[in-house]
Amino acid sequence: MSVAPMRLEDRLPARSGALLWVIAAIGVAIVPHLFNQPVWVVLTTVLALAWRGGVHLGRLPMPSRWILVLLTILMTGLVLGRYGTLFGRDAGVALLVLMTGLKLLETRTYRDAMLVVFLGYFVIITNFFYSQEIPAALYMLVAVFATTAALVRLNAGEGVQPARESFGLAGLMLGQAVPVMIILFLLFPRLPGPLWGMPQDSTTGVTGLSDSMSPGSISELLQSDAPAFRVSFTDEPPAPAQRYWRGPVFAHFDGRTWRAGRETEIDALPLLPDTDGMVTYTLNLEPHERRWLLALDVPVAVPPDARMTEDHYLVADRPVRRLVQYSLASRTDLILEPELSEARRRQALSLPARAAPRAQALAQAWRAQHEEDDTLIQAALRHFNEEPFFYTLSPPRLERDPVDQFLFEARAGFCEHYASAFVVLMRAAGIPARVVTGYQGGEYNRLGNYLLVRQSDAHAWAEVWLEGRGWVRVDPTAAVAPERIEQGIRIALSGDLGAPDFIRRSLDWGMVRLQWELWRDSIDYYWSGWVLAFGPERQEELLERLGLGRLDWRGMITLMVVLIGAVVLVFAAVFLWRNRLPVADPLAVVYRRFCRRLARAGLTRAPHEPPMDFARRIARERPDLAEPVAAFTREYVALRYGAGPDPERFGQLRGLLRRINP
Amino acid sequence: MNKTLPDTAMAARIDAILAQLNTVIFGKPGPIRLALACLLARGHLLVEDLPGVGKTTLAHALARTLGLQFQRIQFTSDLLPADILGVSVFSTERKRFEFHPGPVFSQLVLADEINRTTPKSQSALLEAMEEQQVTIEGTTRRLPEPFFVIATQNPQEQIGTFPLPESQMDRFLMRIHLGYPDAAAERALLRGRDRRELVEELPAQVDAPALLALQRQVTQVHVSDALLDYLQAIVAHTRRPGVYRMGLSPRAVLALLRAAQAWALVDHRDHVLPEDIQAVLPPVAGHRLHLSESPGLAPEQVTRRLIEAVPVP
């Protein structure tokens, strides 16, 4: 059964040392999958790499065909068991990584090794399914470099190539690929939506506002430092207290959970330029898998592929699955819905009959005291302010009737508790009210001149409808913890969750850290704005700005091919220019002129014909020219091949050339 | 033409040598010139030709004209290294071993039909050629100065021969052919005196110090950058993958340059021209280059192609 172990490297002659490079490059390529894949996937592959390395060094035998078949079936089964499929992002990547390792275990020939290298490139690109951030991209660049070096190594000629040379050539090749990469990036036709549409995978791990609000639904967000969106303003940014970013509006309440109403589309609101309340800005929204778009309260313009709902928040046609950029205008001084229809008024007043009886009673008591809606609202806010209410991110659990329990027992909570309770109180008192969710605040990054809004800035507030004033924003959280609104959530929480200890210990160190975070986020901002958000819209915009108008995908591909062709031609020209015959010698230039002069008379010098032989041939073919040609050639030869140049004689040579007039 | 050799006496001496050789061997000025250039470049000469075309006469005439001691070794299949290098014999009179130098201890050695002896004897001679010395029984003995080997081999005979391997062919600076004389030369030969007698009467045109001075002068012949560009372009062309079985080695390049310098000197010039390279390329590179494809192509064709493939800068 067993055959004498074959000398594998016989079939990878001279280049066999390159196999270790290939193994190392594959190792580099699969490391990031430790974060994306079950550990056993990467570990098994690393073991396969080590085994092949051991074979190469003569310590281990090559696995037999049976073991390989068995391993392949086993690995496929494990992937199937883990994911239930062999397709899709996670299962596909797991299979690719495992099979790359197994392929190495049957790599005997040059052809096999080449195949593994190209599998390596494939493995590298799969990392982008998981992360498209700068560190990931940088690491991928290193991996591509390592793989290219292995490729160079594998294709080096006979003899040992110094490592520096392999790396140098790989670097040169990648450098030459940069213009092609830029052209492909700018012109490759984009599909709307993510290129790798794998819906069941892509929602995992993405955070954002939810499409309903119940106690505790926002608190998870408040712990997250991840950016939600970034805004750059055309003019001055609004004051911190004005930075309310409007998201979904909830009008339905079932006693515990708030939900949005129907997304009835309405026209965009009048723009009315040159008013003081007008703010224009560009917003880069991180993917959050929902359809709404965030906007400064209240948006008046609608970006393309989006709609304005009756409740005045923006909804995109498709879920936001990749970073999108849109330009917007908002007005802070707008009267929203001056006339409230009967149906909408009923909706804005509805409360489940048995919900929050104590709250309803309290509201009705207030109603009896206050005729005016205004004063009633003030009374409610005063209630929050003067009674012992606390702002905290870790409130006690609310069970049976969350509103009553919060208002009369726990009295501790954060924005969503206050907003929810306030709206219930208002409705019970007969004032139309609703909950608005979104973000409040943001950090201004002076380096990048933009406002960064994090998930932790998520917020919920209330709107009440008042006769003649439309929907008016009321933020009950401000009554309890005004610093939350004025200075941001980080300050508001500093006594509760607290900043990390070391910031408190050393303010200077904290400043350094803050500065670093500003830097890092500005880089992220440009990366996401210019690289990740470069979708079909921006591509169109760029082409139009370049004066190319609207190109369809055929036009783009044609342009792409033409440009890449031009790049190749430029590199070819540089290569030829560098390898051209040296013409720097002025003697050679004069001699060329001499040859051209004779060539016009039909006396062409063959490229390999040496000067004296040429002169003798001319003497035979054109005896009339023999004397001047011989004189010139003698002088030329003496100067070019004789000992030492002589400027004076160089002048004579030109004189001799003038005498030749065939 | 461009005769700028500083020492006119030297030029006259070279002309006298060539003239005298041409009186013995008719109609072969080219090969004679090459043979002299080869000697002046301190190289050894391989003459490949049919018997009876004047190989021995050439060698003998060269020895006489240049005033060199001459020994001929007829290579046969039973020749032993000791027959070439010499042997120590016990002297009963002096009661000790005495070294009897072999024919190799001569200034000009004609190794006739070198491919008919065994590789062992061949390498005895070839090592002596390379190192200019002979080591026998632990004692190293220097060969005379100048030392010049003309080896001949008959390419037609195949049975019972030991063709020189390529590595040993490399030891010869040049390989030349004499070929049949043309009709006029042959007529002169038929009318003329017996060659053997004639050769015996030839006077020496130079003495050993003058010959050594000529050899030194070869290395003084000027080589310009432009010429080196051309030389290196030729070499680079032979090293391109796929065309030749092997490119020219650095030793071959040096040989090419030295031969071109000697050729220029024989032409009374103090600098090397591309013409010189082209003139010595066939005898210098012909036995060192083989095309990967069409291996049967004659060496002259191979070097012709090489010359035509490389432009003169």
| Catalytic residue chosen out of the listed positions A415, A417, A521, A524 | A415
* pLDDT over threshold 90, residue A406: no
Based on the domain organization, do A334 and A447 belong to the same domain? yes
Q: Classify residue A189 by burial, with Cβ atoms within 10 Å: 0-12, 13-18, 19+.
A: middle
**Cβ-Cβ contacts under 8 Å for A170 (sequence gap 6 or more):** A145, A148, A149, A151, A152
The stretch B162-188 carries a mean pLDDT of 83
CA dihedral A390, A396, A401, A402 (to 10 degrees): 50
Q: What is the pLDDT of residue A508?
A: 55
Under 8 Å between Cβ of A230 and A284: yes
Using pLDDT thresholds of 50, 70 and 90, give the confidence band for residue A462: very high
Q: What is the pLDDT of residue A520?
A: 79
Our CA angle for A61, A65, A66, nearest 5°, is 105
| Catalytic residue chosen out of the listed positions A297, A401, A459, A521 | A459
| Number of cross-chain residue pairs from A and B with Cβ atoms under 8 Å apart | 60
Q: Which amino acid is at B35?
A: A
* pLDDT over threshold 60, residue A506: no
Chain B partners of A595 at a C-beta cutoff of 8 Å? none
Chain B partners of A581 at a C-beta cutoff of 8 Å? 311, 313
Tell me, yes or no, whether A166 lies in a domain. no
Q: Compute the distance between CA of residue A611 and CA of residue B53 in angstroms, rounded to an integer.
A: 35
* pLDDT over threshold 70, residue A487: no
* pLDDT over threshold 50, residue A228: yes
- pLDDT tens digits for range A312-338: 888 888 888 778 888 888 887 778 888
Based on the domain organization, do A316 and A450 belong to the same domain? yes
Q: What is the pLDDT of residue A504?
A: 40
Distance of CA A219 to the CA centre of its chain: 27
* pLDDT over threshold 80, residue A62: yes
Secondary structure, 3-state, A40-79: HHHHHHHHHHHHHHHHHCCCCCCCCHHHHHHHHHHHHHHH
Q: Compute the distance between CA of residue A579 and CA of residue A112 in angstroms, rounded to an integer.
A: 35
Tell me, yes or no, whether A174 lies in a domain. no
- Domain tally, chain A: 3
Chain B partners of A585 at a C-beta cutoff of 8 Å? 226
* Chain B CA closest to residue A627: B1
Pairing of strands A470-474, A458-466: antiparallel
Based on the domain organization, do A150 and A33 belong to the same domain? yes
A642 vs B: CB within 8 A = yes
* pLDDT over threshold 70, residue A234: yes
More confident position, A111 or B259: B259
Based on the domain organization, do A144 and A216 belong to the same domain? no
Q: Answer whether B2 sits within 8 Å of A641, measured CB to CB.
A: no
A286-322: burial string, b at 16+ Cβ within 10 Å, e else: bbbebbbbbbbbbbbbbbeebbbbebbbbbbeebbbb
Tell me the sheet residues that pair with B153: B48
Closest CA of chain A from B239, distance in Å: 14
Choose one of A489, A513, A545: the last residue of a domain: A545
A620 vs B: CB within 8 A = no
Tell me, yes or no, whether A306 lies in a domain. yes
Using pLDDT thresholds of 50, 70 and 90, give the confidence band for residue A180: very high
Tell me, yes or no, whether A93 lies in a domain. yes
Tell me, yes or no, whether A425 lies in a domain. no
* pLDDT over threshold 90, residue B257: yes
Closest CB to B2 among A157, A581, A634:
A634
Q: Compute the distance between CA of residue A186 and CA of residue A213 in angstroms, rounded to an integer.
A: 41
Closest CB to B307 among A608, A611, A643:
A608
What stretches of chain B adopt beta strand conformation (E)? Answer: 45-48, 70-74, 86-91, 96-101, 108-112, 133-136, 139-142, 148-153, 174-176
* pLDDT over threshold 80, residue B153: yes
Choose one of A161, A192, A223: the last residue of a domain: A161
Tell me, yes or no, whether A519 lies in a domain. yes
Count the neighbouring beta carbons within 10 Å of the beta carbon of residue A461: 25
Could you confirm whether A459 is annotated as catalytic? Answer: yes
The stretch A91-112 carries a mean pLDDT of 90
The stretch B59-85 carries a mean pLDDT of 87
Q: What is the pLDDT of residue A254?
A: 85
Chain A partners of B313 at a C-beta cutoff of 8 Å? 581-582, 588
Tell me which residue has tokens 């006259």. Answer: B12
* Chain B CA closest to residue A645: B224
Our CA angle for A15, A18, A23, nearest 5°, is 145
Prior bond of A647 cis (ω within 30°): no
Based on the domain organization, do A98 and A40 belong to the same domain? yes
Q: Which two tokens stand for residue A203?
A: 């929602």
More confident position, A645 or A83: A83
Q: What is the pLDDT of residue B2?
A: 43
Range ranked top by mean pLDDT from A23-27, A405-409, A485-489, B94-98: A23-27
The stretch A62-81 carries a mean pLDDT of 92
Based on the domain organization, do A248 and A145 belong to the same domain? no
Q: Compute the distance between CA of residue A639 and CA of residue A646 in angstroms, rounded to an integer.
A: 7
Based on the domain organization, do A143 and A32 belong to the same domain? yes
Instruction: Kindly list the strands in the beta sheet with A324-331, ordered across the sheet, starting from the edge strand earlier in the chain.
Output: A324-331, A278-285, A227-233, A450-454, A443-445
| Phi, psi of A378, deg, nearest 5 | -60, -40
* Chain A CA closest to residue B272: A641
Q: What is the pLDDT of residue A551?
A: 75
* pLDDT over threshold 70, residue A495: no
Q: Compute the distance between CA of residue A393 and CA of residue A496 in angstroms, rounded to an integer.
A: 8
Please name which of B134, B162, B171, B157 lies closest in space to residue B78, comparing C-alpha atoms: B162
Q: Compute the distance between CA of residue A374 and CA of residue A365 in angstroms, rounded to an integer.
A: 15
| Phi, psi of A456, deg, nearest 5 | -70, -10
Based on the domain organization, do A250 and A303 belong to the same domain? yes
Under 8 Å between Cβ of B206 and B254: no
- HSE of A571 in the Cβ direction (CA atoms, 13 Å)? 13
Q: What is the pLDDT of residue B127?
A: 83
Chain B partners of A582 at a C-beta cutoff of 8 Å? 229, 313
Q: What is the pLDDT of residue A274?
A: 56
* pLDDT over threshold 50, residue A3: no
* pLDDT over threshold 50, residue A497: no
**Cβ-Cβ contacts under 8 Å for A348 (sequence gap 6 or more):** A251, A340, A427, A432, A433, A434, A465
The stretch B49-54 carries a mean pLDDT of 80
**Cβ-Cβ contacts under 8 Å for A403 (sequence gap 6 or more):** A255, A355, A356, A359, A420, A421, A424
Tell me the sheet residues that pair with B72: B110
Three-state DSSP state, A298: coil
* pLDDT over threshold 90, residue A116: yes
Based on the domain organization, do A16 and A89 belong to the same domain? yes
Based on the domain organization, do A156 and A220 belong to the same domain? no
The stretch B156-168 carries a mean pLDDT of 75
Prior bond of A97 cis (ω within 30°): no
* pLDDT over threshold 50, residue A10: no
Q: What is the pLDDT of residue B140?
A: 85
* pLDDT over threshold 90, residue A47: yes
Under 8 Å between Cβ of B126 and B168: yes
What single DSSP character describes residue A296? E
The stretch B269-295 carries a mean pLDDT of 85
Based on the domain organization, do A472 and A613 belong to the same domain? no
A640 vs B: CB within 8 A = yes
More confident position, A649 or B147: B147
Q: Which two tokens stand for residue A435?
A: 């909950």
Our CA angle for A614, A618, A623, nearest 5°, is 155
The stretch B124-128 carries a mean pLDDT of 85
CA dihedral A9, A15, A21, A22 (to 10 degrees): -70
Domain span at residue A102 reads 8-161
More confident position, A190 or A245: A245
Could you confirm whether A475 is annotated as catalytic? Answer: yes
- Kindly give the interhelix angle for B225-239 and A626-641, rounded to the nearest 10 degrees: 80
Based on the domain organization, do A215 and A315 belong to the same domain? yes
Please name which of A301, A288, A277 lies closest in space to residue A248, comparing C-alpha atoms: A288
* pLDDT over threshold 60, residue A223: yes
Give me chain A's average pLDDT, please. 81
Q: Compute the distance between CA of residue B233 and CA of residue B239 in angstroms, rounded to an integer.
A: 10
The stretch A58-70 carries a mean pLDDT of 89
Tell me, yes or no, whether A387 lies in a domain. no
Distance of CA A611 to the CA centre of its chain: 64
Q: What is the pLDDT of residue A387?
A: 84
Among A263-267, A303-307, A340-344, B114-118, which is the least confidently predicted range?
A263-267
Q: What is the pLDDT of residue B193?
A: 76
The stretch B211-218 carries a mean pLDDT of 90
Q: What is the pLDDT of residue A197?
A: 42
Choose one of A127, A161, A195: the last residue of a domain: A161
Q: Compute the distance between CA of residue A251 and CA of residue A344 in angstroms, rounded to an integer.
A: 10
Q: What is the pLDDT of residue A416?
A: 85
Tell me, yes or no, whether A409 lies in a domain. no
Quick one: CA dihedral B188, B194, B196, B199, positive or negative? negative
What single DSSP character describes residue B168? H
ipTM confidence score: 0.82
Using pLDDT thresholds of 50, 70 and 90, give the confidence band for residue A147: very high
- pLDDT tens digits for range A579-630: 765 556 778 888 888 888 888 888 888 888 889 889 999 899 888 888 888 8
- pLDDT tens digits for range A511-539: 677 777 778 778 877 887 777 777 777 78
Count the neighbouring beta carbons within 10 Å of the beta carbon of residue A110: 17
More confident position, A12 or A149: A149
